[in-house]
């Protein structure tokens, strides 16, 4: 499957017939400022926004157009004179309107503005497409979706509604939200963002698996011993504890981002690369995963260390006795022919010793090996930072020695690809939206299947409240010290003590 820049532009034209009005709801907020507008600008720079796009920011805050432009361009880096000129043009395409989220009159004013703009731009009926991007807190999802449907819905073109997590707190609340949104908009109109699906390496998983015969053939329980999906952040929840405390790390990143990655790793080959074919397979594999149990779970919360505050010391935290996990390791099992018995371990934590996201597929030992004790092969997909795909494999130590040494077949993007320009996840997803490709957005049934895996254990954790077993770990550490035995329990073998990445010294190596 190859998709050139021209093909992408053609797909955008086919979907939108050359015109769109993008309405960013919550335009004064952080998500809009940090992600939505920089992504839109980048798409504009690359020529992927239809020529006469109009972007309208909408929020309650009253702001002058200058203040709005300053705000939305705050995170855009101006490299040179060309970028500056492009930015001026981009600003001229963007306007702002303040209004309420719960009043028909405000929505009707917005509708009038859009309509006038469509007329002025000479967009013919049938091509008057409207994209509503909800960069809003979850309490506003339904009221805003209702107000838009009633008053601002595109009557002469396509309507698209973009919404981002949190999608509820458990299966029931998520289903409730889905019911309310789906009563207003068709599934085709809704684009649920999980921004991990827009990351370069996550988009690459299918290619690695299905375009390479050597991975494809060994991708099962016979050859793979265990799989880990790891998310580590150095920062704690400083300043965001108030929000985070209602969710915890499992709802914040594991039930969505990590599980999405896992489903791409574990799913069967889709019948095609069509969005629904891919999402069908993701749903199928999620349905093969029974709910995670507490026995397969390790929870942690960070405490102050090295001059950094503990989770409970966060000023924004209301409950100073909170037992909300900031770290979790959870193992799930895919009960199908391909994966039975293979543990899939998800690990996520804040305030850790490193910042990285990766998938680590550990293969089984070589049966009857001539080189006993050689470490296992691993395939690592490093999602961030610095995208890389590498395979840890055993090699003869160069020189007169006959020792084996673990090295790697390394595809580090920055070394390998010239003029590398990896788009931000939001840019990539917004482009998918403009070309009408749902593959990297979460379907309703997928969301439900994902929640079913986590809801029982989350309810159990909530039910146990203050009695829940939660380990502490120092800010800036690897996580709770029980982590090593936790992953070992599932067979993860860490016998590569002499392995350094990326440059290896030969003086200290050696496995006989
Ligand atoms: C968000 C979580 O969804 O993802 C944050 O709410 C987390 O807590 C973030 O920090 C991580 O995203 P990224 O793209 O920085 O890895």
- Give 491's Cβ-side CA count (13 Å radius): 18
Distance 7 CA to ligand 1 centre (A): 31
Q: How far apart are CA 49 and CA 430, in angstroms?
A: 10
Task: Identify the residue whose C-alpha is closest to ligand 1 atom 11.
Answer: 253
- DSSP per-residue letters across 293-357: -GGGEEEEEEE-BTTBPPGGG-TT-S-TT----SEEEEEEE--STTTTT-EEEEEEESSBS--EE
Q: Which residues line ligand 1 (CB under 6 A)?
A: 195, 233, 252-253, 357
The atom of ligand 1 lying closest to the CA of 252 is 6
Q: How far is the CA of 125 from the centre of ligand 1 (A)?
A: 40
- Total residues found in the chain within this entry: 512
Ligand 1 atom index nearest CA of 257 = 3
Q: State which of 192, 195, 311 you would mutate to test the pocket of ligand 1, scoring each by most atoms of that ligand within 8 A of its C-beta.
A: 195
What does residue 380 show for φ and ψ, rounded to 5 degrees? -115, 130
Quote the tokens at residue 208: 């690695």
So what's the pLDDT on residue 225?
98
Integer Cα distance of 406 and 510 in angstroms: 8
Using most ligand atoms within 8 A of CB, pick from 243, 253, 354 the residue to mutate for ligand 1.
253
User: pLDDT tens digits for the chain (512 residues)?
Assistant: 456 788 888 888 888 887 899 999 999 999 999 999 999 999 999 999 987 899 999 999 999 999 999 999 989 988 899 999 999 999 999 999 999 999 999 999 999 999 999 999 999 999 999 999 999 999 999 999 999 999 999 999 999 999 999 999 999 999 999 999 999 999 999 999 999 999 999 999 999 999 999 998 999 999 999 999 999 999 999 878 788 999 999 999 999 999 999 999 999 999 999 999 999 999 999 999 999 999 999 999 999 998 999 999 988 888 999 999 999 999 999 999 999 999 999 999 999 999 999 999 999 999 998 998 899 999 999 999 999 999 999 999 999 988 899 999 999 999 999 989 999 999 999 999 999 999 999 999 999 999 999 999 999 999 999 999 999 999 999 999 999 999 999 999 887 666 777 777 776 554 44
Supply 36's token pair.
Answer: 């939505």
CA of residue 306 relative to chain centroid, distance = 30
**Which residue minimizes the CA distance to atom 8 of ligand 1?**
252
Q: Contact 380/392 with Cβ under 8 angstroms? A: yes
**257 a catalytic residue:** yes
* Nearest Cα residue to 135 out of 75, 56, 233, 198: 56
**Residue 349: φ, ψ to 5°:** -160, 155
Start-to-end CA distance of the chain, whole Å, equals: 43
Nearest ligand 1 atom, CA 196: 14
Question: Which residue, by CA, sits nearest to atom 13 of ligand 1?
Answer: 196
What's the predicted TM-score (pTM) here?
Answer: 0.95
Give the position, in ligand 1's atom list, of the atom nearest the Cα of 383. 16
Report pLDDT for 243.
86
Q: 444-464 and 171-184 are packed helices; what angle lies between their axes, rounded to 10 degrees?
A: 150
Determine the Cα–Cα distance for residues 382 and 457; give it in Å rounded to an integer: 28
351, 311 in Cβ contact below 8 A? Answer: yes
How far apart, in whole angstroms, are the C-alpha atoms of residue 447 and residue 286? 10
| Å from CA of 36 to ligand 1 middle | 15
Strand partners, 405: 395
Pocket residue to mutate for ligand 1, from 30, 194, 252, 422, most atoms within 8 A of Cβ: 252
Given 257, 414, 438, 459, the catalytic residue: 257
């Amino acid at each position: 499957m190859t998709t050139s820049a021209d093909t992408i532009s053609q797909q955008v034209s086919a979907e939108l017939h050359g015109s769109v009005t993008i309405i960013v709801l919550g335009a004064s907020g952080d998500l809009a400022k940090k992600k939505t507008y920089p992504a839109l600008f980048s798409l504009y720079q690359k020529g992927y926004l239809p020529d006469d796009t109009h972007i309208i920011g909408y929020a309650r805050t009253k702001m002058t157009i200058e203040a709005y432009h300053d705000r939305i361009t705050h995170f855009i880096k101006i490299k040179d004179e060309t970028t500056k000129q492009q930015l001026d043009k981009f600003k001229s395409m963007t306007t702002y309107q303040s209004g309420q989220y719960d009043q028909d009159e405000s929505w009707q004013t917005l509708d009038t503005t859009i309509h006038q703009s469509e007329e002025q731009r000479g967009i013919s009926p049938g091509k008057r497409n409207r994209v509503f991007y909800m960069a809003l807190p979850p309490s506003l999802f339904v009221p805003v979706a209702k107000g838009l449907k009633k008053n601002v819905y595109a009557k002469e073109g396509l309507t698209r509604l973009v919404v981002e997590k949190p999608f509820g707190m458990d299966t029931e609340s998520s289903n409730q939200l889905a019911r309310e949104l789906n009563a207003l908009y068709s599934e085709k109109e809704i684009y649920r963002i999980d921004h991990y699906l827009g990351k370069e390496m996550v988009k690459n998983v299918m290619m690695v698996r299905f375009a390479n015969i050597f991975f494809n053939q060994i991708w099962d329980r016979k050859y793979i011993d265990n799989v880990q999906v790891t998310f580590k952040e150095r920062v704690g929840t400083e300043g965001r504890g108030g929000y985070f405390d209602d969710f915890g790390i499992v709802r914040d990143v594991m039930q969505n981002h990590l599980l999405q990655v896992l489903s791409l790793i574990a799913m069967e080959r889709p019948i095609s690369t069509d969005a629904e074919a891919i999402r069908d397979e993701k749903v199928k594999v999620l349905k093969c995963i029974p709910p995670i149990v507490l026995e397969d779970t390790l929870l942690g919360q960070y405490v102050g260390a090295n001059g950094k505050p503990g989770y409970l010391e966060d000023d924004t935290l209301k409950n100073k006795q909170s037992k909300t996990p900031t770290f979790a390791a959870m193992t799930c099992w895919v009960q199908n022919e391909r994966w039975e018995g293979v543990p899939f371990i998800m690990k996520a934590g804040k305030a850790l010793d490193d910042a990285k996201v990766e998938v680590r597929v550990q293969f089984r030992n070589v049966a009857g090996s001539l080189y006993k004790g050689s470490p296992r092969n691993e395939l690592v997909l490093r999602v961030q930072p610095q995208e890389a795909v590498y395979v840890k494999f055993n090699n003869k130590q160069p020189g007169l020695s006959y020792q084996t040494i673990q090295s790697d077949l390394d595809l580090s993007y920055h070394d390998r690809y010239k003029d590398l320009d990896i788009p931000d996840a939001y840019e990539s997803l917004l482009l998918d939206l403009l070309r009408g490709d749902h593959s990297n957005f979460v379907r309703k049934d997928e969301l439900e299947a994902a929640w079913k895996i986590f809801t029982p254990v989350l309810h159990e954790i909530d039910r146990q409240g203050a009695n829940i077993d939660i380990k502490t770990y120092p800010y800036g550490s690897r996580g709770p010290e029980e982590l090593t035995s936790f992953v070992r329990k599932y067979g993860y073998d860490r016998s590569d003590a002499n392995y350094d990445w990326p440059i290896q010294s030969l003086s200290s190596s050696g496995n006989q």
